[in-house]
Structure formats: C-alpha cells, structure tokens
Chain A
C-alpha cells in the first residue's frame, strides 16, 4: 500500500459520464481562433496576415524568447482576421482566425516517419520546441524549458503524471487505454532527453483499466507503473512526487530541485507525434462533460476550435448551463460565453447545471478546522480567509505562508460556512504583488 500525502479531499469524481467513451475525432471546425499566447512565458507575434493562405501544421506565430512556444495552423484555409478575441485564461488576446477551406491539407513535408533513437538530446529538445509543445495538463509551461533544467540540477527521475484527479476529466484515462504504445515511446524519448534511468507512471487507483494497460505497455522497462490512492489533489506535481518518490519539494522550490521532472499524459503524446511523426501540436484530446451537456464525450479536437463548435459535437446542451468551465471543476476557469477557443491547455470543457454549482451563502467562519486538516500545503486556510476579508494581506504573507498556497480549492470544497477561501487568498496575493510593484517603482525613482 502506497502512503498518500497529508490532507486532500474526496469529491464525487463524476467521471462516469465519459470514462467508458472511446476518443472520438471531432468534426472539422468551420474556423479556428488561435491565440498567440497559449503558454506561460513571452507571447508570440503573428507571422501571417489577413488574407494569407495557410496549411495545417504551418507556423503562424513565433517568438525568439526561450520561454515561449510557437503556434501552428490547425486547419488549412484563409487567415480572415488577426485581432483581439476572447481568451479562455487571459480574458482577451491577439488571435489569428483561419477560415476552413475544407481541404485539411498538410504543409509540405509532414507527416513523416523518423527514427528518434538516432537523435541526441539537443535535437530532440529543438523538435519539441518547434512543435509548440506546452504542459497540456492545464499549466501550459513550455515543455522544452522543463526538459532543459540548469546544469547544476541533477535530474534522476521522470514522472508521468497520469493521476487525473480533477472530477469529470477522462482524457488522460482514455489516452492511456487507446494510445498506450505512443505513451511508451514518448516516455522513452523524454527519459533520453533528461538522461534518466528511473521513471514512474502515477495513476490514481480509480482507473484500474488504465493501470493494467500501462503495466502491459511498460512491461520489461525500467519504468514503474504505480496505482496510487485516489485523492484530490493527487495530480498536483508536488503531491505526486511525494507519493511516488517520498521526496518533499521544499517550499518555494521546483520539482527539479529534488531531481524530478513531471509531464502530463497529453504532453507525452504530443512529444511522440512531434518527434516520431513530425507533427506539431495542432490537436488534443479533451473531455466535454457535465450535467448540462447532452452527450458527453472525449474528443480529439483541433486547437482553436471554439467552445461553441466543440459542444455542438456533443449534441449541445440539455438545459442552459449555469457555468461553463475550461478545465476541471476544482481549478478550471469559468467562461462567460462560448466564443472562446480551445487552446493547448484545455483538458476539458464542462457545462454544469445550477445544482452542481450551488455555492450557498457565505457566512462567518465557525472554525470547524476542516480546511486546516485537509490542506495539502499545510496552511491555515481559515485564518488566511479572515485576513483576506479584513484586508490584512501583509500579515497573510508574513505570518500565514500565503505564497505556499497552490490554490487547489480543497478548503473551499469542504467549508461548511461556504467561505470563498481561495478567492480571499488570490486577493491577498494580488495585493502583495501590487504593493511589491509599487515599492519597486518607488525605488527606481530614487
């Protein structure tokens, strides 16, 4: 029995909607809206203009910065607009709109077959960068940066994050069942890039079929497939590392500081496609689910497809949803409309009805201590929420470890007083950042 991490919660996983549904290829969208910023880091600049004809796989936005990731056309057609459009994470963002010509034609030269074992780690990293691959679990950190840790950090372990702890989401689960050979090769590629011998596949034990599929795929390798206790937020990097390796990433540090690199299942598939087939990241598997969606599905869908068209693939809504969420219900982003498009980090689109999002009325903290006992980061969320409510953001940072909060939302989930704890915490973080910026500006004037 594997020892779990401290704290955590057991929300209803709601995965039954889609866990048995094979990945379905979505209809080609009539248009795609591709933002120049789908990652953490420097935004790209468009390198196409209105009226240009582009083909599938063509680079349409790029940046010379290291911490950045290019964007590719995901269909062939005419660029009809380069302007600001709604964005699922940033509100709005400069985007390239391509109208589908129905040909779905590849740019010359791809796809092809390549013997990846002949390539060295730098060549592999370059391929991954040029393919526009970012962390597809939702964080969207450029993958080539994560695979290029500074020399002084000795990496000895790679972890495939297949926990998929967010309720509703089943995309990783289905990929493990249907794409197991690509995952096997993808993991081998990453292990070569990192130069590590040891790797784990961490899967929550509520997906026994995925565990056996992975065990079968990785039989005879040095990769250990581990069924780990189902508990949210098991998929948080630091929790996963703790459970699989026993190492605790120090407060304020990164996984590479304990010699570990973690990648998500979708990212590994994208790495396989880029390295072996030469295909850049232009599509992904995403779960369209929720009580308000008529026919929940796991879709293989083009980047840039609008949420509206994605949901049409699932028969639309049975009722007007109360909330549309990009990602999972615990850490995802609520959307005000369906004009936003699917970007690289969209692991799911959820349409939730009123009952699902019934938040109740907030009342004062009754100090029940539930949040303290379940906080995986070992904080006192109750106190943080009270400090936030009263605008004591500096005390929150100095005395209550504000910056250690990962905003996993577990405390809000268990709170009987329905307090918006994470919201207060975000507010405190924002106030502290604003204050720091103000002080920096003052120092500059001096």
Chain B
C-alpha cells in the first residue's frame, strides 16, 4: 500500500451488501400479534369477570418468567422483551376455561415455554405450537377442570354452564338451538361472544378484527384462516346430523376455538410451512382434522389437536412444496 495512505484512522465500517434493512423486527411482529389479541382478551374480562383477568395475567406473566429462567440457566441472551413468550402465555390463557385454578395455568405455561419451546432450542426452532402444547398438557392432566364452565353473568338469554360444542356433542342440535332461544339468537351470541367457552375464543367479531389487522400488516397470509375455516364450513355442512348437506356450517365456523385457532395458531410462523402453497395444504389439513374430531371423535372440539398434528407434518410439507426458481420454466 502507498506510504501516503493514512492507515487505521478514520476507517469506516465495512460489510457485504445489502447495507440497508427494513423496519420489521421480531419484537414488532410479536407485540403486534399481542395487540391484535387485545380486543378479544378485554372482552373476555368483561364477559367472564375477574377470574378471566387472573388467568390471563397468570398465563402470560408466568410464560415470560419461565422464559427468563430458562435463558438465565442456559446462560443465553434474555429475550423476554421480544414479546414471543408473552404471546405464548396469552394464547395459552385464552384457550383455557376462565375458572381454571392458577397453578394449572402455570403448569401449562411451563410446558409451553420450557418443554415445547426451549427444549427444542428456543424461538424459531420449536416444531409444535407452544401454546397448544401447553393447552394439550393441561387438558390431559386435568380434564375435569378443563371442561368445567362458569355460569355466564352477562348474558341474559344464554345462561348456560356448557359450551355450545358440548351441548351439541351431548344433547344434539335441537337442544343447542333451544338453549339459545332461536337460531338467529344463537348466531348472534356466537358472533358477539356472549356464550360459554375458553377465555379468548368466544367473540368471533373481535378475533376477526384482530386477524384482519394482522393480514393487513402482512404478518398473516389470508389463505391460512380462509382455507382452514372454509374447510370446516364445507365439511360440516356436507356431513350434517340428518344426512348429507344438512349441517350448520355457520355454527361450526364460529364455534369452539376455530376462529382464534385459524387466525392466531395456524398462522404461527415458526410451526407452519414456509411457502404459501404449503400453508394452504396445512390449513386444509387442519380444517379436515378439526371436523373429523368434532363429528366423529370423543372430544367436542378438535382445533388444538388438529393444528398440533399438522405441525408434525410441516417439515414434510416444506420438503414437498418448494418455490419454483426463476428460469425453471419458460
């Protein structure tokens, strides 16, 4: 090098291109999803009262706490502020009955964060949706607590101590309509959320609102919820209680955890296929399994298990469905 060249002083950072980046970040995505869940969560507190508030707080805060502990013990960077553990805890709590004892929610959080997420390597490496793993674990451990529902205080004409899907499973469609008074009243209750169920799953309209916001932000591909809910709608209509094409698709699409599952669980980036085509296959598969469990299985609801089962085949879908490279076809 030339002797006149000044060395070592006033040097600039070098790196390979590109030199600018977009504004997106993991914490921005995660906190936006949390925000999108907020309306449904707030409604749940209004609908179910203080027990729901406590469960939501216990779920999300214990998840954050477990993430902190795991990362501290493993001497890894602490990433609790990125919102992903909070989101897992919040989603888990929203899938639990409002009156569940706090320690059960904490165990769920533990399973979700420590077992399902960090034993796999942490954010980005988990195969299964952590919140759903947590819910499934609580479900098999305390089946009674998980199916005990409160007496709704806010809903005058829909006072019941069972979820609509429970009534349908055990007493049939006629009793279901009777409980709500009439079919339009039932749809209205399902749409607004004045019905029994897990904390965050009841209000179709508010979940839709949050989901559409995420689609608008580009964090969710619209194909996933549309294909999953659509599949459930079509199949429940086709395989109705009184023979082919006698089902009630509207009820099934709004019932149980389908809306929250399709918009917030089946769209969990880490655990679903990476291509849009793959995601559509995932959504249809999850929809079909949900209907299979609801109509033929022992459980009244199948969203949780169907998504977990599809999580398991996600690597296979990614292997089969790949983007077509430029110049591969003319």
Contact = CB atoms under 8 A, between A and B. Distances in A.
Nearest to A360: B25
B300 to A, nearest CB: 32
Nearest to B27: A416
A67 interface: no
Contacts of A335: 12, 14
A377 B29 contact: no
A378 B324 contact: yes
Contacts of B151: none
Interface in B1-57: 1-2, 5-6, 10-22, 24-26, 28-29
Contacts of A372: 274-275, 323
Interface stretch (B117-125, B140-148, B252-260): B117-125
B263 to A, nearest CB: 16
Interface string B186-225: 0000000000000000000000000000000011010000
Contact of A376 (B16, B26, B272, B326): B326
Contacts of B11: 336-337
Contacts of B275: 369, 372, 380
A75 interface: no
A248 B124 contact: no
Interface string A251-268: 111000000000000000
A316 to B, nearest CB: 13
B75 interface: no
B205 to A, nearest CB: 27
Contact of A363 (B26, B270, B272, B322): B26
A360 to B, nearest CB: 6
A145 interface: no
Nearest to A417: B26
A324 interface: yes
Interface in A136-194: 167
B20 A333 contact: no
Contacts of B14: 323, 334-336
Contact of A337 (B6, B16, B125, B330): B6
Given A85-B2, A364-B122, A401-B325, A412 B18 contact: yes
Nearest to B329: A248
Given A323-B12, A334-B12, A404-B326, A380 B274 contact: yes
Given A364-B122, A413-B21, A404 B325 contact: yes
Given A323-B13, A357-B13, A418 B327 contact: no
A363 B1 contact: no
Given A323-B19, A336-B12, A377 B325 contact: yes
A6 B326 contact: yes
B328 interface: yes
Contacts of B329: 248
Contacts of A252: 327
A248 to B, nearest CB: 6
Interface in A1-23: 6, 9, 11
A426 B16 contact: yes
Contacts of A334: 12-17, 19
A383 B322 CA distance: 11
B269 interface: yes
B312 to A, nearest CB: 15
The contact size tier of chain B is 35 or more
A413 B20 contact: yes
B276 interface: yes
A334 B276 CA distance: 35
A46 B25 CA distance: 50
Contacts of A332: 17, 19
B275 to A, nearest CB: 6
Interface string A396-414: 0000010010010100111
Interface in A309-368: 320-325, 329-339, 350, 352, 356-360, 363-368
A92 B24 CA distance: 36
A104 interface: no
A86 interface: yes
A414 B269 contact: no
Contacts of A325: 19
B269 A413 contact: no
A373 interface: yes
Interface hub of B13, B275, B327, B330 (most chain A Cβ within 10 A) = B327
B327 A416 contact: no
B151 to A, nearest CB: 41
A370 interface: yes
A84 interface: yes
A415 interface: yes
A407 B287 CA distance: 38
Contacts of A86: 1, 5
A364 B19 contact: no
Contacts of A365: 124
A169 to B, nearest CB: 13
A323 B20 CA distance: 11
B13 to A, nearest CB: 5
A294 to B, nearest CB: 17
Nearest to A84: B1
A336 B5 CA distance: 12
Contacts of B279: 369
A366 B327 contact: no
Contacts of B274: 367, 369, 372, 380, 382-383
26 contacts: A6-B326, A92-B1, A238-B326, A247-B330, A250-B327, A251-B328, A321-B12, A329-B17, A336-B12, A337-B10, A338-B10, A339-B2, A360-B25, A363-B79, A364-B123, A365-B124, A367-B124, A369-B276, A375-B323, A376-B326, A378-B323, A378-B328, A380-B275, A380-B323, A415-B24, A426-B16
Given A360-B21, A378-B328, 16 more contacts: A6-B326, A11-B20, A248-B326, A249-B327, A250-B328, A320-B10, A322-B13, A330-B18, A330-B20, A333-B17, A359-B15, A364-B121, A369-B276, A370-B218, A373-B276, A413-B21
Interface of A: 6, 9, 11, 81, 83-86, 92, 167, 238, 247-253, 320-325, 329-339, 350, 352, 356-360, 363-370, 372-373, 375-380, 382-383, 401, 404, 407, 409, 412-418, 422-423, 426
Interface pairs A-B: 7 shortest CB-CB:
A409-B18, A251-B327, A364-B124, A378-B325, A416-B24, A334-B14, A368-B269
